[in-house]
């Protein structure tokens, strides 16, 4: 009894501290908005915006810290803790439980957004666009702080005191990937607010100079790396936790993370061309607005209950506000872009579709088409309900066909794009440049056909995975050759080239990673096999080249669950042996048992086993066995992509320092340098 | 100039046609109706198409985990359909449970399902860390 009273008082203090943090954040955000709009960065304005941004971050850090500590301390007087955590939960999952609920995840979102605002906050002398960008970020912060204070209170008291030990965290979320996936993805979302705010600042003031785009690029790269990592972690989680044998199901929530990724990918390529040539500024500004709007859409889809999904939260009023924000963002961006269409067009045009910039435009069109197709598919149940009076959803075959085909076309552009020069190549030059990739593709395709691979998509994948590194390697060799000084060794010249063009080769590393990912997707998507088998204890069965022996069934106890575990021994065609221990877990606080899959991973493919049932005493047990060729390359390729993006982002070297330092001067002059041709751009 | 414009129009038209073709064939392949048992049983046009049907498992359901399958009646408010499911049977499959099945009706009029989901009976808010 006494303990309960104490908990109640502690709850009030927690609530008071947390809400003070939110109030501080809201107040500081309001100061930031006013300072940005009124001073436009002149005089003390920049310092004020900066201080307000850090103040906002401090307030949200206080709120988030308070909520986290309430979860870790099992403060069950709070609604969020009682509904998403339990006493027996391991500490890492208690932290993860903070963002398992709607309020907590909105608070995390707001905190990360404030972090972007504070780190990217305007420095004195950066000019009006950057000051306005600060105001835009502060306004977004104000919006989220207001929502948290008025609609989705993370510190609300527990309305059901009968829940003594907490409802518990959904067992599906009790996995390490779910501890890091949401913050990673939200970081990607938050970083995309950087280019968006800068684009709005530039569009409002009409000052769309190279310095602005250079800063946009850094945020876009950070966003891309985190989005890539976040999507990958989500896919990994789905693979090992949902137990159906795949990692991507075109679920609305997955789509909601893919769409911003597509937009940011396009944005990065637009910014590349803008840097080299000064063209595609409209694409850059437009895609920056689109990317962030899609991040808000993603939050809306998962938080509004608009769509039925395994991950989505129930219907709430928050969705309405988010939808309102989305309308403002979308409408505002389109209006601004339209108003500034003259300025955006004023730079150099693209040099025809057969040059590098032309290829980037084609890529943009393909990415946008993928985006629209994904959006149509995601919203189809809602739209069909309204139009046909009948809910229809578009399943995986739709996405695989439409988005998959467009993606393959985009990857083809990626393979040959880097071989093209900037500007009007002329058909002759293009033919000369493309002879080699064509020959490579043909050779690879023929070799694959001889090996008995006939599926058209896999042939295209193999061709892309051959041509891309081929083109990168040849161009690299060319650059090294032209760079090598007299008496300089080849390794030294190669290393020097890599260092001097770090950003370019970071990008190309990402391309190589995408090739690996494509091979993984192709192998696991087209050639995966699924079998059901029942095995007696001590017996062995043969499943598609694997011999699987079932040893025994044991019962074990985890931190907050008990489990049945089957011990299997698999032997592949070459005699390699792997141990597999699939489990069925019964969590203390859940009714539904959870399958814990066992995966034997090798370069050639995964053997994936789910324990489906067992006879009393474990004399016999049934397993779902999935064989997923090449799936490991999805993870490796995705990791390489993120690493490439990170390498390109790293603020190292002369060029990187230059960019940051010279930004104000460039912003002020607003002049575009002479467009240098590829290969001599980065001294 | 006129020739260039013609080229552009033809190019854009060809691409639009290709996209339309992709979209239409893709939608045809991926089309899944989402219905209750009553809606499904009363709409003949949906019965040849792949559908996701939700209802309650009726009495006399037989689950055969060894053969990885189950046969049962799926009941709505007024109508009943016969379901034959092939795959791993969820633990919580039992008479009276709300389930969702996905598949198509065969010539004999049986709904052949390859997806069987028991509706979440847990006390959780349908939560997900989302994003």
Q: Is residue B131 part of a domain?
A: no
pLDDT of residue A354: 73
Asked if A394 has any chain B CB less than 8 Å from its own CB, the reply is: yes
pLDDT tens-digit map of A514-573: 999 999 999 999 999 998 889 999 999 999 889 999 999 999 998 888 999 999 999 998
User: For residues A103, A106, A108 and A109, what is the CA-based torsion angle, rounded to 10 degrees?
Assistant: 180
Three-state secondary structure readout of A539-561: CEEEECCEEEEEEEEEEEECCCE
On whether residue B125 sits in a domain, the answer given is no
Which pair of tokens denotes residue A316? 């709430």
pLDDT for A460 equals 93
Closest by CA to B57, choosing from B29, B104, B25, B89, is B89
| Cα torsion angle, A425, A427, A428, A430, sign | positive
pLDDT computed for residue B122 by the predictor = 37
Return all residues near A202 (Cβ < 8 A) that are at least 6 apart.
Answer: A129, A208, A209, A212, A285
The tally of domains found in chain B comes to: 2
3-state helix, strand, coil split of chain A in percent (to 5) is 65, 10, 25
Question: For A299-334, how does the pLDDT look when each residue is reduced to its tens digit (9 = 90+)?
Answer: 888 765 565 544 444 456 788 888 899 999 999 999
Q: Taking a C-beta distance cutoff of 8 angstroms, is the pair A494, A478 a contact?
A: no
Contacts of B130 in chain A (CB under 8 A): 105, 182, 253, 302-303, 311-313
Contact A464, A417 (CB under 8 A): no
State how far the Cα of A408 lies from the Cα of A400, in Å rounded to an integer.
Answer: 11
CA dist., res. A680 & res. A497, Å (int): 11
Average pLDDT over residues A425-432: 68
Residue A200's pLDDT is: 94
Whether B56 and B44 map to the same domain: the answer is: yes
Closest of A589, A594, A565 to residue A89, by C-alpha: A589
- Please tell me whether residues B50 and B25 are part of one structural domain: no
User: Is B109 found in the same domain as B63?
Assistant: yes
Asked if A186 contacts A254 with a C-beta cutoff of 8 angstroms, the reply is no
Same-domain pairing of B113 and B86: yes
Mean pLDDT of chain B: 81
Structural domains of chain A, ranges and CATH numbers in brackets: 1-170 (no CATH), 418-524+638-669 (no CATH), 529-629 (2.60.98)
Mean pLDDT of A83-87: 87
Q: Which residues, other chains included, contact A433 with Cβ-Cβ below 8 Å and sequence gap of 6+?
A: A419, A420, A421, A425
Contacts of B92 in chain A (CB under 8 A): 591-592
Average pLDDT rounded to a whole number, residues A55-77: 94
Per-residue pLDDT of A658-683, as tens digits, reads 333 333 333 333 333 333 333 322 32
pLDDT at A316 (0 to 100): 61
Tell me the H-state helices in A40-127. 45-72, 79-84, 91-98, 102-119
pLDDT at A346: 74
Say whether A146 sits in a helix, a strand or coil: helix
pLDDT: which is higher, A597 or A41: A597
Residue B104 lies in a domain: yes
Q: Do A253 and B27 touch (CB under 8 A)?
A: no
Nearest CA among A271, A242, A98 for reference residue A180: A98
Across the strands, what pairs with B118?
Answer: B99
Name the nearest CA neighbour of A625 among A512, A553, A539, A535. A535
Q: What is the pLDDT of residue A425?
A: 59
> What percentage of residues in chain A have a pLDDT greater than 90?
51
Reduced to 3 states, what is the DSSP secondary structure of residue B43?
coil
Domain presence at residue B126 = no
Closest approach of A123 to chain B, Cα-based (Å): 32
Digit-coded pLDDT (tens) for B104-126: 988 888 899 988 887 654 333 33
pLDDT at position A247, please? 94
β-pairing, A594-596 vs A605-614, is: unpaired
Residues of chain B contacting residue A234, judged by C-beta atoms under 8 Å apart? 131
The b/e string for A28-37 (b: 16+ C-beta within 10 A; e otherwise) is bbbbbbebbb
| Residue from the list B26, B66, B131 with its beta carbon closest to the beta carbon of A182 | B131
In a domain, B72, yes or no: yes
**Contacts with A309 (C-beta within 8 Å, 6 or more apart), sequence order:** A251, A252, A253, A301, A302, B128
Q: What pLDDT band is residue A345 in, cutting at 50, 70 and 90?
A: confident
Angle subtended by helix axes B2-30 and A396-416, to nearest 10: 140
The residues, ordered by sequence, that sit 6+ positions from B91 with a Cβ below 8 Å of its Cβ are: A584, A592, A593
* Residue carrying structure tokens 């998507």: A525
CA distances from A130 to A45, A198, A218, A637 (A): 11, 6, 14, 36
* C-alpha closest to that of B28 among A228, A180, A392, A664: A392
Residues of chain B with C-beta less than 8 angstroms from the C-beta of A593:
91
Residue in A with minimal Cα distance to B91: A593
CB atoms within 10 A of CB A652: 12
Domain-located, residue B130: no
pLDDT tens-place string over residues A168-198: 888 888 889 989 999 999 999 999 999 999 9
Compute how many other C-beta atoms are within 10 angstroms of the C-beta atom of residue A551.
15
In a domain, B128, yes or no: no
CB A623 within 8 A of CB A610: yes
Mutate to test the interface with B, among A231, A305, A392 (most CBs of B within 10 A): A392
Q: What is the pLDDT of residue A446?
A: 92
Q: DSSP characters for A190-259? A: HHTHHHHHHHHHHHHHT---HHHHHHHHHHHHHHHHHHHHHHHHHHHHHHHHS-SS-S----HHHHHHHH
Q: Is A58 on the interface with B (CB under 8 A)?
A: no
pLDDT of residue A71: 93
User: If you measure CA to CA, which chain A residue comes closest to B8?
Assistant: A353
3-state SS string over A274-289?
HHHHCCCHHHHHHHHH
Average pLDDT of chain A, as a whole number: 86
B90 & B55 share domain: yes
CA distance A207 to chain B (A): 32
Residue with tokens 């950066």: A126
What is the rounded CA–CA span in Å between residue A7 and residue A157? 11
Mean pLDDT of A343-367: 81
Token pair for A192: 């995309």
Residue of A11, A13, A168, A10 lying closest to A96 (CA atoms): A168
Residues of B with CB under 8 A from a CB of A: 19, 22-23, 25-27, 29-35, 50, 52, 65-66, 68, 87-89, 91-92, 118, 120-131
Longest dimension (CA), chain A: 87
| Distance between A42 CA and the closest CA of chain B, angstroms | 38
Among A124-133, A195-204, A613-622, name the one with the lowest average pLDDT: A124-133
Q: Does the distance separating the beta carbons of B130 and A253 come in below 8 Å?
A: yes
Sign for the pseudo-dihedral over CA of B120, B126, B128, B130: positive
Strand A605-614, strand B98-105: pairing = unpaired
Give me the pLDDT at residue A120, please.
82
pLDDT reported for residue A668: 34
State which H helix or E strand residue B37 sits in: helix B37-42
SS3 sequence, A361-398?
HHHHHHHHHHHHHHHHHHHHHHHHHHHCCCCEEECHHH
Answer yes or no: is B106 within a domain. Answer: yes
B16 & B63 share domain:
no
Same domain? For B71 and B14 the reply is no
- Mark whether B21 and B72 lie in a shared domain: no
Residues of A in contact with B124 (CB under 8 A): 167-168, 170, 590
Same structural domain, B24 and B38? no
Q: What pTM, to 2 d.p., does this model score?
A: 0.90
Q: Taking the alpha carbons of A505, A510, A513, A519 in that order, is the dihedral positive or negative?
A: negative
Structural domain of B18: 1-30
Structure tokens at A130: 């950057």
Longest CA span, chain B: 75
If contacts are CB pairs under 8 Å, which of residues 308-337 in chain A contact chain B? 309-314
Same domain, B22 and B79: no
Q: Round the CA-based radius of gyration of chain B to a whole number and report it.
A: 22
CA distance A515 to A467: 10
Question: By the CB < 8 Å criterion, does A189 face chain B?
Answer: yes
- Give CB contacts under 8 A, 24+ apart, made by A406-410: A406/A366, A406/A369, A406/A370, A406/A373, A406/B22, A407/A366, A407/A370, A408/A457, A408/A460, A408/A461, A408/A464, A409/A366, A410/A363, A410/A366, A410/A367, A410/A370
Nearest to A592 among B52, B88, B92 (CB): B92
Which pLDDT does position A590 carry in this prediction? Answer: 76
Do A565 and A553 meet the contact criterion of CB atoms below 8 Å apart?
yes
Are the CB atoms for A260 and A298 separated by under 8 Å?
A: yes
CB pairs < 8 Å spanning A and B: 144
Query: Quick one: B24 and B54 in the same domain?
Result: no
- CATH code, B83: 2.40.50.140
- Beta strand ranges found along A605-662 (DSSP E): 605-614, 620-629
B67 and B84 together in one domain: yes
Residue B129 C-alpha, separation from nearest chain A C-alpha, in angstroms: 5
Structure tokens at A620: 């016999």
A132 touches chain B (CB under 8 A): no
Measured in Å, how far apart are chain B's first and last C-alpha atoms?
A: 49
Q: Which residues of A touch B22 (CB under 8 A)?
A: 401-402, 405-406
């Amino acid at each position: 009894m006494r303990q309960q009273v104490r908990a109640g008082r502690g709850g009030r203090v927690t609530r008071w501290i947390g809400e003070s943090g939110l109030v501080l954040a809201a107040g500081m955000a309001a100061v930031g908005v006013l300072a940005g709009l009124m001073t436009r960065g002149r005089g003390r304005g920049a310092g004020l915006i900066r201080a307000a941004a850090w103040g906002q971050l401090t307030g949200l850090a206080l709120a988030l810290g308070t909520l986290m500590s309430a979860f870790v301390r099992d403060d069950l007087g709070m609604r969020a803790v009682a509904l998403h955590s339990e006493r027996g939960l391991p500490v890492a999952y208690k932290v993860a439980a903070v963002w398992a609920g709607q309020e907590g995840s909105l608070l995390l979102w707001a905190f990360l957004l404030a972090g972007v605002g504070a780190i990217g906050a305007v420095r004195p002398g950066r000019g009006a666009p950057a000051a306005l960008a600060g105001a835009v970020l502060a306004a977004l912060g104000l919006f989220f702080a207001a929502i948290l204070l008025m609609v989705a209170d993370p510190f609300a008291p527990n309305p059901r005191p009968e829940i003594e030990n907490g409802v518990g965290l959904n067992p599906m979320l009790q996995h390490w990937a779910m501890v890091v996936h949401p913050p990673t993805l939200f970081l990607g979302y938050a970083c995309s607010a950087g280019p968006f705010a800068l684009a709005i600042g530039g569009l409002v003031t009409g000052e769309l100079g190279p310095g602005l785009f250079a800063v946009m690029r850094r945020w876009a790269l950070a966003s891309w790396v985190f989005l890539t990592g976040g999507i990958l972690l989500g896919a990994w989680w789905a693979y090992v936790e949902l137990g159906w044998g795949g990692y991507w199901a075109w679920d609305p929530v997955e789509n909601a993370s893919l769409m911003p990724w597509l937009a940011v990918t396009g944005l990065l390529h637009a910014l590349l061309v803008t840097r080299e040539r000064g063209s595609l500024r409209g694409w850059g500004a437009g895609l920056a607005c689109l990317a962030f709007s899609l991040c808000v859409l993603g939050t809306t889809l998962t938080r509004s209950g608009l769509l039925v999904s395994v991950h989505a939260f129930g219907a709430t009023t928050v969705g309405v506000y988010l939808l309102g924000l989305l309308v403002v963002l979308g409408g505002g961006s389109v209006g601004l872009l339209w108003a500034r269409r003259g300025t955006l067009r004023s730079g150099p045009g693209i040099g025809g579709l057969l040059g590098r910039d032309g290829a980037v435009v084609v890529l943009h069109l393909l990415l946008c088409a993928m985006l629209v197709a994904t959006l149509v598919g995601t919203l189809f149940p809602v739209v069909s309900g309204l139009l046909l009076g009948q809910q229809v959803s578009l399943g995986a075959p739709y996405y695989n066909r439409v988005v998959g085909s467009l993606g393959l076309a985009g990857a083809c552009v990626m393979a040959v794009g880097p071989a093209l020069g900037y500007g009007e190549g002329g058909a002759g030059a293009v033919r000369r440049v493309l002879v080699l990739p064509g020959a490579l593709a043909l050779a690879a395709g023929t070799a694959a056909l001889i090996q008995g691979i006939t599926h058209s998509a896999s042939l295209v994948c193999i061709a892309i995975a051959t041509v891309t590194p081929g083109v990168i390697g040849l161009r690299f060799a060319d650059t090294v050759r032209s760079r090598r000084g007299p008496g300089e060794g080849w390794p030294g010249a190669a290393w020097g080239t890599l260092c001097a063009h770090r950003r370019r080769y970071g990008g190309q590393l990402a391309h190589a990673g995408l090739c690996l990912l494509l091979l993984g997707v192709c192998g696991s998507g087209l050639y995966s096999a699924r079998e059901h088998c029942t095995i007696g204890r001590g017996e062995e069965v043969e499943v598609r080249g694997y011999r699987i022996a079932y040893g025994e069934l044991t019962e074990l106890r985890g931190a907050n669950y008990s489990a049945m575990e089957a011990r299997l021994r698999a032997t592949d065609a070459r005699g390699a042996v792997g141990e597999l221990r699939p489990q069925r877990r019964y969590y203390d606080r859940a009714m539904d048992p959870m399958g814990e899959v066992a995966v034997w991973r090798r370069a050639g493919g995964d053997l994936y086993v789910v324990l489906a049932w067992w006879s009393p005493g474990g004399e016999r047990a049934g397993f779902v066995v999935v064989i997923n060729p090449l799936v490991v390359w999805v993870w490796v390729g995705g990791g390489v992509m993120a690493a490439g993006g990170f390498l390109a982002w790293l603020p190292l070297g002369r060029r990187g320092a230059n960019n940051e330092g010279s930004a104000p001067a460039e912003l002020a002059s607003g002049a575009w340098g002479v467009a240098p041709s590829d290969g001599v751009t980065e001294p | 100039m006129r020739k260039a414009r013609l080229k552009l129009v033809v190019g854009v038209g060809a691409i639009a046609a290709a996209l339309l073709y992709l979209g239409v064939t893709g939608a045809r392949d991926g089309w899944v109706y989402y219905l209750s048992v009553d809606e499904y049983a009363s709409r003949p046009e949906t019965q040849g198409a792949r559908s996701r049907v939700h209802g309650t498992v009726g009495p006399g359901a037989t689950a055969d985990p060894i053969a990885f399958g189950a046969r049962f009646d799926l009941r709505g408010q007024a109508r009943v359909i016969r379901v034959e499911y092939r795959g791993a049977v969820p633990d919580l499959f039992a008479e009276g449970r709300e389930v969702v099945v996905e598949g198509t009706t065969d010539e004999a009029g049986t709904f052949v399902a390859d997806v069987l989901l028991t509706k979440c009976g847990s006390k959780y808010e349908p939560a997900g860390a989302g994003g």
